[in-house]
Amino acid sequence: MPTTGTPTNWAGNITFTAARLHRPDSLGALRAAVAGAERVRALGSGHSFNRIADAPGADLVSVAGLPPVVEIDTSAGVALVSAGLRYAAVAEHLDRAGFALPNLASLPHISIAGACATGTHGSGDRNGGLATAVSALRLVGPDGAVAELSRAADPESFPGAVVGLGALGVVTSVALDLVPAFDVAQYVYEGLGLDRLAEDFDAVFGAGHSVSVFTDWASGEGSIWLKLRLERDPDAYLGGGLDTDAEFAVKAPEPVWLGARRAAGPRHPVPGMPAEYCTEQGGLPGPWHERLPHFRPDFTPSSGEELQSEFFVPRAAAPRALAELRSLAGRIAPVLQISEIRTIAADDLWLSPSHGRDSAAFHFTWVKDTEAVLPVVAAVEERLAPLGARPHWGKVFTTPLEQAAALYPRIDDFRRLVAERDPGGKFRNPYLAALVARTE
């Protein structure tokens, strides 16, 4: 592979085995690269931890070199954006125009196309994954032709195309539904007992626009990262009413909440790591895009010295999942940097890990030691399998892909859609072949 691109993923645990990496700077060049390839995979910002994006012996194509477009239709509340842009780059434009995305992931450095293709999500009882904001997408198909799919014009197939795992073509732009710009105040509470979390799961996760609980499992405690949504007009919160949403029960400045104490200073999710990498805490209001991610766009959150896994269970099963994982703490802790628990609203996207069910997601930032981590991942999967746990498509898991596919009620529709749009399997790699195997 030429050295013009990334030979490894962000974490460095995957060395891509593609023969060539294309980084076209025009739509025409992209179309020619796709049409001329025997097999090709789209590569986003390379933040996935497994071989989902790889193209063994074949072609990889990045859309990061296409002209960067952010066109905001202010009357419709929709932005047309180049798919290779990173969320951080788009967010500032939206904010300046008075708009926001409803939610963001923990990291603003990931590409929009790659994030949406894998069902990437943030947290929030009423926030769907990032792909739920996509109302249309433009993609280059196997013959190099450009197609457009939209929620309005293609209601049958569109929900199958958005979390598409790169199987339907190379996405060049997406239309994103916007909301009015808002501010966020972020607070960290420490010392939440995990027993208390199991009892008061709804109170914790219902307390703000986006809530995360970080834990190491072994201590029996966690910390709450609470992100409260504020009206942009400062008068609305400086007067004392901190959270504009009537359903949010908590008054954030409480020094002690559910037995947890407000942190005395800024924190990093991984104890001991520098808090300067993280977005502003302590309740200082700021724009949505500077608070919803945990990490700041101008810092690399870590050197990539980590692996990640994540499993989504139906929200109602969260207390059981907590109990199962606590009983595995002795195995998890030695290879864990930190775990994060989040909630995601149900959606209708066929391969979204939150498809058809409000979900609780259990995330693990592991040490970067694949050999030591994999058996523990398998043990976690064994405990969570009876709860119907779906693995994050872009992270480390050992569940066979066919088994993971069976957890999605619309998987056969997805297989039909892939067969229809890519009959020759041009966008297929071993990961995808295992997932769509039954149509072949």
Ligand X SMILES: Cc1cc2nc3c(=O)[nH]c(=O)nc-3n(C[C@H](O)[C@H](O)[C@H](O)COP(=O)(O)OP(=O)(O)OC[C@H]3O[C@@H](n4cnc5c(N)ncnc54)[C@H](O)[C@@H]3O)c2cc1C
Q: Which is nearer to ligand X, 113 or 345 (CB)?
A: 113
Question: Does 338 help bind ligand X (rule: CB under 6 A)?
Answer: no
118 binds ligand X (CB under 6 A): yes
Nearer to ligand X, 269 or 285 (CB): 269
Q: Nearer to ligand X by C-beta: 46 or 128?
A: 46
The nearest distance, CB 146 to ligand X, in angstroms, is 13
Residue 10 or 350: the one with the smaller Cβ distance to ligand X is: 10
161 makes contact with ligand X (CB under 6 A): no
List Cβ<8 Å contacts ≥24 apart for 253-257.
253/187, 253/283, 257/189, 257/224
Beta bridge partners of 33: none
Q: Compose the 44-73 pattern: x for residues touching ligand X by CB under 6 A, - for all others.
A: xxxxx---xx---------x----------
- Residue 435, interface with ligand X (CB under 6 A)? no
The binding track of 284-313 with respect to ligand X, each residue x by CB under 6 A or -, is -----------------x------x-----
Query: On the CB side of 125, how many CA atoms lie within 13 Å of its CA?
Result: 16
Instruction: In angstroms, give the least distance from the CB of 411 to ligand X.
Output: 16
Alpha helices, DSSP H only, in 171-268?
A: 194-199, 201-205, 235-238
142 sits near ligand X (criterion: CB under 6 A): no
If the CB atoms of residues 25 and 199 are measured against ligand X, the closer one turns out to be 25
Distance separating alpha carbons of residues 361 and 172, to the nearest angstrom: 29
Integer angstrom CA distances of residue 362 from 38, 157, 220, 352, 373? 38, 30, 16, 15, 16
Scanning residues 27 to 46, which ones bind ligand X (CB under 6 A)? 41-46
**In residues, how long is the chain?**
440
Per rule CB under 6 A, count of chain residues that contact ligand X: 33
User: Could you give the CA distance from residue 187 to residue 261 in angstroms, rounded to a whole number?
Assistant: 10
Q: Is 36 exposed, middle or buried (0-12, 13-18, 19+ CB in 10 A)?
A: exposed
The residues with which 11 forms a beta bridge, in sequence order, are none
**40 close to 55: Cβ distance less than 8 angstroms:** yes
Out of 22, 23, 31, 121, the only residue in the binding site for ligand X (CB under 6 A) is 121
Q: Is 212 in the site for ligand X (CB under 6 A)?
A: no
Residue ranges in contact with ligand X by CB under 6 A? 10, 41-48, 52-53, 63, 83, 105-107, 110-111, 113-115, 117-118, 120-121, 165-166, 170-171, 301, 308, 392, 394
